[in-house]
């Protein structure tokens, strides 16, 4: 059951938010996410976030570039327009290396940019839903899901306050 209401604990120290998140997960609360102006070392393990598959995507885009480059060069120099230049054979693979490398890099770069926009659902005309504008500067926010008839808001607020929260708020997300 996904809820749209969360309690936000706002912190000004990354160590406090790390410790609080660890405690909340240990106590059985469902932490939706932690928002931070920079990466906090170890937070991905605490939240249970799996390792990224970006390397697999990058490899696939690079292989696409290599296949495209070799296909284009082989077709152009051997099948379509054979030329005898200095007695070299028409299908001379070592001369293909620089162009193949460059096209692999180009396809990887464009593919990764496309993946970034697709995975983050960044489309033209859609405004970002920033949880708190101060997160982009110097504050850290932990968002805990409120499960109706299960979450004790007073107890959760006291846990956040006792662990160094400078502000506690409720927020509802729109679908």
CA distance 105 to 63: 10
Evaluate whether residue 105 is within a structural domain. Answer: yes
* Beta-bridge mates of residue 8: 143, 169
Q: 36: closest CA among 128, 104, 138?
A: 138
Supply the range of the domain harboring residue 150. 5-51+130-172
* Beta-bridge mates of residue 142: 9, 34
Q: 16: closest CA among 171, 165, 169, 172?
A: 165
pLDDT at position 88? 76
- Taken in order 68, 70, 76, 80, the sign of the CA dihedral is negative
pLDDT at position 1? 45
Q: Kindly state whether residues 70 and 90 are assigned to the same domain.
A: yes
pLDDT at position 102? 97
Taking the whole predicted model, whether its pTM rises above 0.85 is answered as no
Q: What is the CATH number of the domain that holds 25?
A: 3.30.70
pLDDT at position 68? 96
Evaluate whether residue 124 is within a structural domain. Answer: no
Kindly tell me if the per-residue pLDDT of 174 is higher than 70: no
pLDDT digits (tens, 9 = 90+) for 51-64: 888 999 999 999 99
Domains identified in the chain, total number: 2
**How far is C-alpha 128 from the geometric centre of its chain's CA atoms?**
15
pLDDT digits (tens, 9 = 90+) for 70-124: 999 999 888 888 777 777 777 788 888 999 999 999 999 999 999 999 988 888 8
Q: What is the dihedral of CA 21, 22, 24, 25, to 10 degrees?
A: 110
- Given a contact cutoff of 8 angstroms between Cβ atoms, the answer to whether 6 and 31 are in contact is no
């Amino acid at each position: 059951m996904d809820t749209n209401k969360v309690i936000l604990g706002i912190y000004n120290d990354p160590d406090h938010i790390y410790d609080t998140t660890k405690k909340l997960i240990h106590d059985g609360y469902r932490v939706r996410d932690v928002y931070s102006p920079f990466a906090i070392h170890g937070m991905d393990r605490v939240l249970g976030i799996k390792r990224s598959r970006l390397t697999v995507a990058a490899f696939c885009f690079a292989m696409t570039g290599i296949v495209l480059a070799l296909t284009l060069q082989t077709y152009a120099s051997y099948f379509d327009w054979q030329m005898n230049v200095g007695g070299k054979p028409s299908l001379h693979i070592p001369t293909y290396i620089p162009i193949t490398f460059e096209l692999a890099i180009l396809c990887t770069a464009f593919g990764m940019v496309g993946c970034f926009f697709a995975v983050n659902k960044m489309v033209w005309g859609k405004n970002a839903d920033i949880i708190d504008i101060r997160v982009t500067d110097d504050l850290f926010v932990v968002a805990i899901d409120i499960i109706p008839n299960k979450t004790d808001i007073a107890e959760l607020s006291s846990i956040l306050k006792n662990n160094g929260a400078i502000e506690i708020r409720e927020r509802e997300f729109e679908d």
